[in-house]
Structure 1
Amino acid sequence: MKKAMIAMIEDNKIIRENIMKFIGFHEEFEVVLGVGSAESFFHEIKSNPKIQIDILLLDIGLPGISGLEALPQLLQWKPDLNVIVLSTYEEEDMILKALCSGACSYISKKASLSEIVEAIRIVLNGGSYMSPSIAREIINHLMGGRVSKASILSDRQKEILQKLVDGKSYQVISEELFISVETVRTHIKKMYKVLHVNNKTEAINMYMKGHIG
């Protein structure tokens, strides 16, 4: 059986070595290269022009040339290269930039080692793989933001957001809901993270535009 050649660009040495080691346990794969930067990768393939790579796992937040900047250069080197982005970034714009730049799959770094291996198998069979959280962002984009993010807010978060929209202060909200001001703040911080906003104004604007509820 011909083994699939796997390479990885990941600046975190521990993450890189753990993933490469796990992939190496599977007989159908051979890890041929693992480096910490795009510059190192280009140096290696220039030094060894005969190197064969079927799948490249690529981090986005790299020192020097970022993963997004490297993507066009990687595909110029090998147009049929299957690039799987493996990143902590789960924002819609970052995902779309990576996919539009030529990545065939996008995996969250929250994924398990087994999920990464399964993604590699799917890509080798001609498919594309997205972590569930990534797929949700893509669907939301394709539907023009019409997928309500309220569905992923807790009932309490929805309740607090409605009161923010009504112009109520943290103190008033805490009194009306019989919870402490600190608890209100905690709920709001979690809500901002879910909605990918940075402050109350952005959350209220999202609500007013009909993207929530």
Structure 2
Amino acid sequence: MEDTVTTSRIVIVEDNEVVKDGFALLLNGIDKYEVVNSYIKCEDALKNLKSDSPDIILMDLELPGMHGVEGIQRIKKELPEVNIIVITVHEDSDLVFQALCAGASGYITKTANYSSLLEAIDEVNAGGAPMSKNIARMVVESFQKNQDSPLTKRETEVLELLSKGKSYSIISEELFIHKETVKSHIKNIYFKLQVHSKAEAIEKALKDKLI
């Protein structure tokens, strides 16, 4: 019996035709990826979001019409579970930080080689958040913690590591706790913050200065 290959449905939102077509050509040549559609504007991607039903969206920020950050916010509102990877010419900018706060799962630069793109997609599929140390530092250090946080010290530590893109396994190793304990803490975090996903938890934590 052959192993069943799970295919990730991918949408590309990029106004640079060379970048857009290059990514699509690469990804469609790999069995586990399928580019179901590509657009040059967020507005068009939003119109077809339900029919495209993507697992991953590769999203540029500087787009004609609606800006990518607003597009990310609206897409995550309609499709909370989708993973959005920012495609950017910037590697250390407030725009990338804003995009992550809006719900993006990570980012790649337009100058990145194809192996970096595939690594970023695989990392997102594995529950990670591909980003540079500079951007990760901005996420963690750009705000002060709220002293009235509903989260316990351990829950806050777990959420901080999640915001850095750490997987459940890495969190369990760094905090010296079982992986199931990590999952239990995350469940409690979701309940206390009244959210339903990692992205929503991090977004709310950043907004309310909980981490």
* TM-score, normalised by the number of residues in structure 1: 0.60
Query: SS of the counterpart of 2:23?
Result: helix
Shift of 1:140: 6.0
Query: SS of the counterpart of 2:63?
Result: coil
* 1:165-195 residue CA offsets vs partner (Å, 9 max, x unmatched): xxxxxxxxxxxxxxxxxxxxxxxxxxxxxxx
Is the 2:37–2:52 contact (alpha carbons within 8 Å) kept by the matching residues of 1?
Answer: no
Task: Choose 1 or 2 for highest CA Rg.
Answer: 1
Query: SS of the counterpart of 2:12?
Result: strand
Query: SS of the counterpart of 2:53?
Result: coil
Matched, 1:139 2:140: no
Residue among 3, 7, 10 paired with 1:3: 7
Tell me which amino acid in the other structure corresponds to 1:9: V
Is the 1:6–1:33 contact (alpha carbons within 8 Å) kept by the matching residues of 2?
Answer: yes
Residue among 21, 27, 30 paired with 2:25: 21
**CA distance in 2 between partners of 1:142 and 1:73 (Å):** 24
Q: Name segments (4+ residues, structure 1) moved above 4 Å.
A: 140-144
1:152 is matched with: none
Is the 2:12–2:59 contact (alpha carbons within 8 Å) kept by the matching residues of 1?
Answer: yes
**CA distance in 1 between partners of 2:74 and 2:94 (Å):** 20
1:102 is matched with: 103
**CA distance in 2 between partners of 1:54 and 1:141 (Å):** 24
2:86 is matched with: 85
Residue among 37, 40, 65 paired with 2:41: 37
Shift of 1:67: 0.3
Higher relative contact order (CA 8 A, sep 6+): 2
2:76 is matched with: 75
Query: SS of the counterpart of 1:80?
Result: coil
Query: SS of the counterpart of 2:103?
Result: coil
**CA distance in 2 between partners of 1:53 and 1:137 (Å):** 26
Tell me which amino acid in the other structure corresponds to 1:121: D
Shift of 1:142: 4.2
**CA distance in 2 between partners of 1:117 and 1:99 (Å):** 19
1:59 is matched with: 60
Cα separation, partners in 2 of 1:84 and 1:141, compared to 1, 3 Å? closer
Unaligned residue ranges in structure 1 (runs of 5+): 145-213
Determine what percentage of the aligned residue pairs are the same residue.
29
Shift of 1:137: 4.1
**CA distance in 1 between partners of 2:52 and 2:136 (Å):** 34
**CA distance in 2 between partners of 1:43 and 1:37 (Å):** 10
**CA distance in 2 between partners of 1:6 and 1:33 (Å):** 7
Cα separation, partners in 2 of 1:100 and 1:112, compared to 1, 3 Å? same
Is the 1:5–1:30 contact (alpha carbons within 8 Å) kept by the matching residues of 2?
Answer: yes
Is the 2:13–2:40 contact (alpha carbons within 8 Å) kept by the matching residues of 1?
Answer: yes
* 1:54-110 residue CA offsets vs partner (Å, 9 max, x unmatched): 000000000000101111110111011100001112343112111110001011212
